[in-house]
Structure 1
């Protein structure tokens, strides 16, 4: 069974994948100081709760946008699972897709993995919207090449900046406003409207501009924790793929095994 590890700026996701099917997944806050031993204790308990053991894991692949976290994750794989991990984008786990941008090495692992999975799952030109620390908009053409995209502040990052900079504004949850009006009558309502509908307007505007630039029909694929929330209040997404990055890791691993 494959242990796929997606190390993002805010969270790390560990997923057990068998024959392309995600059997279990767990999430932990990203902390580059966390040691392989700490990961192992935490993960061992979660494996047991789901009815698995360390012996069930016979392969590990890591995708990371946090370079400082990589070493301890590699030690976790070798010391506690007895396998040499693949690292997405390196060696046998080279991307295998064209990164058609000025600086291919600057493309984040999560974005390349999303491109691999989205192209495998959907035909034609695609825009992938990924909700993370940043919200990214990536264009993948009908041949599967990564053509570039947009990086915008994530909605939580935007809210944190607003609350930190304005002393009297309260911290609010990320949720759709309860009232249909976009004219708030309280401070909290006004913040909900500005954060939520402002973010929807930003996304809709950027997606429409990308579509106009492509000039062909484009399918919009959304992934990340907030995709479902926004999908309930807008028609900008054609499909939700909640585990796109993990699927990309599993596909990359399968490709590397076949190449052997």
Structure 2
């Protein structure tokens, strides 16, 4: 058994699986403050022999995870972005500088879908990455996620609130204007990249994906936990975990 961990800026996503199994025996997400509950959530299932961790949340979070999971006799793998893996070639000028969450999402996307892809992770930040049919990562964008945009308006302006509005065609309240504007900023960035890569399918993942998916006009598949799928693919094809 292997435990895959996607450590993001806001939450830890986890999935427990046999290497040869395409389903998760156990999966979910936790706020950073709730990490101590993870062993209890895993207790009803066979213990992992391997733990794969893709971490963009900092060294302190990884140290906490190691301590919390110390009771499992498992080999720990701190996953890093590389020049190539699992059928994907990393086009970054310095491959190691690509965020490992983006890298794992690309690996997960290629394991699910052939052809040209737009790989979108919508979370604290939104990333929009281009993957061609030959498995070449061409490059991509990073922008603040919708919640960060809303928080910036509330923090850095004198009169705008941290709005809880609704998406409206013609917003007529400040709350709706902020909600719609920040949502359209996300959608516009995705669809602008897709307009330059029009033969692609958008694979959309991340905590904010249910908010974005209904409004996208490009061909879209909403996929849960793309980085976890990428970690499992990496275990199978590169680490020979069985």
TM-score (norm 2): 0.86
Residues 1:251 and 1:204: Cα distance change in structure 2 (over 3 Å): same
Mapping of 1:182-197 within 5 angstroms? Answer: 182=170, 184-197=171-184
Partner-residue secondary structure (3-state), 1:128: strand
Partner of 2:193: 206
Residue of 149, 154, 162 corresponding to 1:163: 154
Q: Retained in 2: the 8 A contact 1:64–1:109?
A: yes
Mapping of 1:109-124 within 5 angstroms? Answer: 109-124=100-115
Q: Retained in 1: the 8 A contact 2:213–2:220?
A: no
Partner of 1:107: 98
Q: Which runs of 5+ in 1 are unaligned?
A: 32-37
RMSD value over aligned CA atoms?
Answer: 2.5
Residue of 50, 62, 65 corresponding to 1:70: 62
Task: Give the superposition deviation at 1:158.
Answer: 0.7
Q: Retained in 1: the 8 A contact 2:127–2:143?
A: yes
Matched, 1:227 2:193: no
Partner-residue secondary structure (3-state), 2:106: helix
For each residue in 1:49-99, what CA deviation from the matched residue of structure 2 results, as whole angstroms up to 9, or x when unmatched?
A: xxx15x53222111112341333334444x2111111222389xx845321
Larger Rg: 1
TM-score (norm 1): 0.81
Q: Retained in 2: the 8 A contact 1:8–1:30?
A: no
Structure 1: which 4+ aligned runs deviate by more than 6 Å?
none
Mapping of 1:1-260 within 5 angstroms? Answer: 1-18=1-18, 19-30=21-32, 39=35, 41-48=36-43, 52-53=44-45, 55-68=46-59, 69-77=61-69, 79-89=70-80, 95-96=85-86, 97-173=88-164, 176-177=166-167, 179=168, 181-182=169-170, 184-209=171-196, 211=197, 217-258=199-240
